[in-house]
Amino acid sequence: MAYTAPRTTRPSGRRHPLVATAMVLPLAALLVVVFGGWEAVVTQASSVGVMLGR
């Protein structure tokens, strides 16, 4: 049986807002390209705002 390295556990908690923003920006840009409008970006940004506001 192959040896697998043990997983490290991350402390539970919230992400830093800059990390969340960096994760969402590529998706927002993709939505603009795919759907051709700012509505998708506004929807995504508002969803992230709700998540960060918890």
The model carries a pTM of 0.39
Q: What is the pLDDT of residue 1?
A: 62
State the Cα torsion 35-41-42-44 to the nearest 10°: 110
Q: Decide if pLDDT at 2 tops 80.
A: no
Whole-number Cα distances in Å, 30 to 2, 12, 13, 21: 39, 29, 28, 14
The Cα 15–Cα 24 span in angstroms is 13
Task: Judge whether 48 and 20 are in contact, CB under 8 Å.
Answer: yes
Q: Decide if pLDDT at 23 tops 80.
A: yes
Residue pLDDT, tens place only, 5-15: 777 666 667 77
Share of the chain above pLDDT 70, in %: 80
Task: Judge whether 38 and 32 are in contact, CB under 8 Å.
Answer: yes
